[in-house]
């Protein structure tokens, strides 16, 4: 069976002496400001071709970063899943109390959990005649595991360390909850469901540039800029001006994918209506400004 993703790519090469254009794929030579490790991040130029052709960009081009899929999952998908599970556990805890005391008792239980109280002391918050003791402890333990994982995942410095911590989390969850289906498989299903529908401010690309296969995600909301003079368009540029460049062009997206990136980015930032109070305030300030000119 042939792996369709192995040879599929959204870019073209052989740009030669072509000038910088929208859709050009850049590879960074120095550390940049991103939510991820810069060496794995590339970028796509989104400055309009007409601005580049007529010099209306004033020597500064805009781009959006493109990060590896694995990094996207670690930094954006997994945290959302864990946050949802935390909310579910809190809701389950609240359901164990009568409506009148649910909020106060749940908040107190969470506070005691955070302060490191032993489970037997927290359990006294339940009514004496309650039969929900085992479930109460299970949900509290689950919440504690998620809290600890959230803090520790932020300290992970590489992919292996991150996924090792996730593996430990799933094992600990199985011990605390004894679910019918292994927590590992449940998490895998959640990740798969999330990746079937990417957020509107991101776009998946299988292979946006040479040496960058395995799946990447375009972060359409993270618009950045770079001086065009610091972008190397051909190897000779770096040879003649060593240390001068911040990035090099490695490819250009095919027209279809270039248009899709720009189109979807435009949708993210489509204008929305502003309240009438804003319009009245704006008009008043502009009128006063115009009247004051020349006085």
Pick the closest to residue 147 from 176, 123, 126 (CA basis).
176
Tokens at 217, concatenated: 């995600």
Q: Is residue 294 predicted with pLDDT exceeding 70?
A: no
Asked whether the predicted pLDDT for residue 188 surpasses 60, the reply is: yes
pLDDT at 2 over 50: no
pLDDT at residue 102 greater than cutoff 60: no
Which residue, chain included where needed, has tokens 């959302």? 80
Give CB contacts under 8 A, 24+ apart, made by 82-86. Answer: 82/146, 82/149, 82/150, 85/142, 85/146, 86/143, 86/146, 86/147, 86/150
**In the predicted model, is pLDDT for residue 3 greater than 50?**
no
Residue recorded with tokens 């300030």: 285
For residue 110, pLDDT beyond 90: no
**Which two structure tokens, joined as six digits, stand for 169?**
């989390």
| Per-residue DSSP letter, 20 | P
* Portion of the chain with pLDDT greater than 70, in percent: 88
Q: Give the residue, 59 or 255, on which the prediction is more confident.
A: 255
Whether the predicted pLDDT of 259 surpasses 90: yes
Rounded alpha-carbon distances, angstroms, from residue 102 to 30, 116, 177, 225, 235: 53, 21, 22, 50, 66
- Residue 45 β-bridge partners: 63
Question: Coil, helix or strand for 240?
Answer: helix
Rounded Cα distance, 176 and 178, in Å? 6
Q: In this structure, how many other beta carbons lie within 10 angstroms of the beta carbon of residue 26? A: 25
Torsion of CA 279, 285, 288, 290, to 10 degrees: -80
Q: Which residue has better confidence, 120 or 44?
A: 44
Q: How confident is the model at residue 6 (pLDDT cuts 50, 70, 90)?
A: low
Q: Which residues contact 85 (CB under 8 A, 6 or more apart)?
A: 142, 146
Decide which of 127 and 226 is more confident. Answer: 226
Tokens of 128: 């004496």
With H, G, I as helix, E, B as strand and everything else as coil, classify residue 197: coil
Statement: residue 133 has pLDDT above 70: no
Q: Is the pLDDT of residue 165 over 80?
A: yes
List the single range of 89-98, 99-108, 262-271 with lowest mean pLDDT: 99-108
pLDDT at 33 over 60: yes
Report the alpha-carbon distance of residue 138 to residue 94 in Å, rounded. 13
End-to-end CA distance of the chain: give it in Å, rounded: 80
């Amino acid at each position: 069976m042939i792996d369709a993703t192995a040879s599929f790519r959204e870019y073209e090469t052989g740009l030669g002496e072509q000038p910088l254009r929208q859709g050009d794929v850049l590879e960074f030579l120095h550390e940049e400001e991103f939510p991820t490790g810069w060496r794995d991040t590339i970028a796509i130029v989104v400055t309009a071709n007409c601005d580049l052709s007529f010099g209306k960009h004033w020597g500064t081009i805009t781009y959006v970063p493109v990060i590896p899929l694995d990094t996207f999952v670690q930094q954006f998908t997994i945290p959302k899943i864990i946050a949802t599970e935390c909310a579910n556990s809190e809701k389950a805890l609240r359901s164990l109390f009568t409506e009148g005391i649910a909020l106060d008792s749940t908040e107190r239980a969470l506070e005691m959990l955070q302060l490191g109280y032993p489970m037997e002391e927290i359990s006294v918050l339940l009514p004496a005649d309650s039969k929900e003791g085992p479930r109460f402890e299970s949900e509290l333990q689950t919440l504690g595991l998620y809290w600890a994982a959230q803090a520790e995942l932020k300290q992970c410095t590489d992919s292996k360390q991150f996924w090792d911590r996730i593996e430990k989390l799933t094992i600990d969850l199985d011990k605390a909850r004894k679910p019918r289906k292994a927590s590992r498989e449940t998490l895998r299903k959640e990740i798969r469901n999330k990746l079937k529908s990417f957020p509107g401010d991101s776009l998946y690309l299988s292979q946006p540039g040479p040496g960058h296969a395995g799946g990447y995600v375009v972060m359409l909301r993270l618009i950045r800029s770079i001086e065009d003079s610091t972008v190397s368009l051909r190897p000779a540029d770096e040879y003649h001006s060593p240390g001068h460049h911040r990035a090099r062009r490695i490819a250009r997206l095919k027209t279809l994918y270039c248009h899709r990136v720009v189109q979807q980015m435009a949708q993210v930032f489509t204008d929305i209506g502003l309240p009438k109070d804003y319009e009245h305030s704006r008009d008043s300030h502009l009128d006063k400004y115009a009247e004051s000119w020349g006085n």
